[in-house]
Chain A
């Protein structure tokens, strides 16, 4: 039996459902030609993103750096569905049209957005953790990386530095079986990616990524450890990417049986069952939640659709704090 309160379970279940339903809405919007660019799904991985983010304590300053499969973490930290829809529709939303999909962040809401270069957020988040330590603040930096991204150089350098400096840092490797078309055993010879922790002299934990409570608890434990000044933890969350890399990829390279096997382990169904069996929620609660989220998302889509596209000339703004980029020296300046 988990240590979570009834409210915590309900909160987690809300974000699990919300994540899935936001992506389903995005699927519809994409079919209507309203999404510009590709759609990345986190179907089947919501337990990892939501469970870990829910374990953070924003009032202590904790900061998360979600990457492409972590819509659940974005939403749990306080990113809104409206923002996500605006991003995918290239509207004048949180990045004013400069960036795409969940490449946005809000430090005041304790999450920052990624760069595409996999692994580069790890040294950066180590730096944020260093900031917490130097300022003697209780905050913890939580960074995510895929089984594929974990092969990059900065992953090693960032984690090693965090270990050597005893930083309040957590790295979650989301081992979802594939990196684009490449299976995890072509990224690493390890069967347990958490064993890498040994090389850094830090604890390495493998957790069932489709068990949202297990992810929550592992993250909470790592955060407590970090807050006690005992340094970073590497958590491997074992889950599965139920859709292709992005919309264009039908993942023909994944055996059918494997997908079926993981379908039976769906993290949302699993948490729902847990709540029902333990008297934490009843079917009516679940139905009500569904209706509530549907209404929220209809409103969010409407808001995002009515958001204008950014104006072309605003491309010139914000390269530096002061000043406007020059359009071309031979053109009259734009006022």
Chain B
């Protein structure tokens, strides 16, 4: 009983895992500081930084005016002064307001100037919460085409903590996308190790082994893929689920190893299909493992529309388990 209670007590949510990473990195390295809107005593719109202002003070948990370009720009400047800033976007959609800083200043800096800008820009992404067109975005593809930025999107509490620590310790800029649907999802609670650990950037994880087809995905869609794999198993189709964890740089080897085994691939993501990162993954597989494929690669993604708000529309917009099952069934019969 007591052991069970202690075990329970150590279980953390995805959100708490992110907070633990921030706290431990701030304890470990006094050069790490946080900057963003309402992140101080208020603890942030989603309460990710709750308690950190009390622990580290206003000099290391800096509240700013509503100025995303200034937040990212100032983080970059402070990074050049030897600090390790972690900037929060209140919703990741507002990262577009800092687009110029990220794509023209930050991403190109090392290449042009010979030294890096080690900042982390993190924030809640993703839909399924009826947030409408401006609070549901998944902007990875906008930045994937801007060489010099790393892009990370964890799907478990363990990875969220380990990857965020790795991002903070990374010598280059990292965009760290946190799917808000996962923040407090009970299914994601887990006990984390007491000791310090990192999850390396650039390494995918196989979440479920299978032999008939591979679903390559990341973020909240990992759970859609796993649920679909359960359904497919009932129909005798064995799906392997690869969780990229890092979007840029892509762990090509893990993806190819899986496709060489299953000979069929679905690429699944929550952003719109056209120009989405799925096209990049799909092209990479085709270029490097064409002879291993028994069928075309199918992209399962959101509609090519803005994210709509009303539940029937948003549900239709997002990839659902049914869509994945249908795609997988088609693919297996190919």
Contact = CB atoms under 8 A, between A and B. Distances in A.
A247 interface: no
Contact of A330 (B135, B298, B317): B298
Nearest to B315: A312
B330 interface: yes
Interface residues of B, number: 46
A164 interface: no
Contact of B309 (A90, A311, A327, A328): A90
Given A182-B65, A187-B66, A310 B97 contact: no
B330 A330 contact: yes
Given A152-B66, A186-B63, A187-B65, A90 B135 contact: no
A313 interface: yes
Nearest to B68: A152
Nearest to A120: B97
Given A97-B313, A103-B132, A149-B66, A315 B308 contact: yes
B32 interface: no
Contacts of B68: 152
Most buried by A among B70, B133, B330: B133
Contact of A97 (B42, B69, B303, B310): B310
A137 interface: no
B46 to A, nearest CB: 10
Contacts of A330: 298, 327, 330
A182 B37 contact: yes
A99 interface: yes
A210 to B, nearest CB: 24
Interface string B35-64: 001101110010000000000000000010
Contacts of A326: 304
Contact of B45 (A180, A253, A325, A329): A180
Most central of B41, B134, B310, B317 by chain A CB within 10 Å: B310
A153 B313 contact: no
7 contacts: A90-B310, A116-B93, A151-B66, A186-B63, A311-B312, A312-B313, A319-B304
B203 interface: no
Interface in A285-335: 309-316, 319, 325-331
Given A151-B66, A181-B41, A326-B304, A117 B309 contact: no
B130 interface: yes
B305 A325 contact: yes
A97 B308 contact: yes
